[in-house]
Structure 1
Amino acid sequence: MPRGHRMQFEFASLLLRLSLGAGFLSAVADRFGIWGPLGTSSVAWGNFHNFVAYTATLNPWSPAAMVPALAWIATFAETVLGVLLVTGLMLRAAALLSGLLTLAFGLSMTAVLGIHDPLNYGVFVYVAGSWLLAACAAYDRWTLDAVIARRKRHV
């Protein structure tokens, strides 16, 4: 790959993984009130209780006793995937799993709320971006994966 194209590719990959990871971490921050209470501009939940209620809305087929566990599982997954994407650690697996998680979310939103909300929130763009990142043969040099690979070559 020509040097100029390689640099463009690395920069695009860097921006994509940072955007995806920051999006996950921002959603987690919202459900813990870090962006402010519900009613604040751009705040979807404002606290975990509201997020659990939203989880119940998107999972009407789930027993009520399971909903808090689903909310915590989603929160844990989004936190871990967000950190992995931002740092570039286990990037292929993190990107693939983030695409799967977001696809499940988007399909659930579509089934319960209709197609308008997932399209407005770019849910399927997250899926596509995640899987594009997972499919890339090489990543930018600014990942922990790249640092680890360099250290292994020099050992």
Structure 2
Amino acid sequence: MTGKKDTQFSQLFLRLAIAVSMLSAVADRFGFWGKNSAWGNWGNFEKYTRQLTFFLPGSLTTLSAYAATCLEILFPLMLILGFKTKIAAFGAGFLLFIFALSMTIALGIKAPLDYSVWIGSAAAFLLAVQEKYSFTIDNLITKYKSL
């Protein structure tokens, strides 16, 4: 049987794991990971995005690369801070779901399984349906409003 503290720390770990994983992908597309990267630079990431969004016109594929990157920065930062945690978790879940679905359609089922994108999406949705969140700015705001 797990206690309240175990649940709180497990939830915090889940928040941080989702956030750091998403931020790592962003760091990759800007060359942060060097030789250990999947894309290594923005141009390669745009090319990969075009591959996944083959059904969109060219201008929309570029827009989707920028939109995905912005959201992959915004949602993880919100999760790390615990700010609007439920919204951030749902956002991350839907973003990862769309990514997994696009990867599956464009590349086959193996690619999203190899990168655990389905698991990331499921984890974010699991986080999103929690009744309350621990160690968050949301809690501090609620406490401050109740004073």
**CA RMSD, Structure 1 to Structure 2 (Å):** 1.3
Distance (Å, rounded) in 2 between the aligned partners of 1:149 and 1:136: 17
Partner of 1:149: 142
Deviation of the 1:147 alpha carbon: 1.4
Distance (Å, rounded) in 2 between the aligned partners of 1:35 and 1:149: 38
SS in 1 for 2:97: helix
Return the TM-score normalized by structure 2. 0.95
Partner of 2:94: 100
Deviation of the 1:105 alpha carbon: 0.5
5+ long unaligned stretches in structure 2: none
Distance (Å, rounded) in 2 between the aligned partners of 1:57 and 1:136: 35
**Higher alpha-carbon deviation: 60-69 or 76-85:** 60-69
Partner of 1:76: 70
Runs of 4 or more consecutive aligned structure 1 residues displaced over 2 Å after TM superposition: none
Residue 110 of structure 1 pairs with residue 108 of structure 2: no
Matches within 5 A, 1:1-155: 5-36=3-34, 40-41=35-36, 43-140=37-134, 142-154=135-147
Deviation per residue, 1:13-45 (Å, 9 max, x gap): 100000111111111111111222xxx12x111
Report the AA paired with residue 27 of structure 1. A
- Using the aligned pairs only, state the percent identity: 39
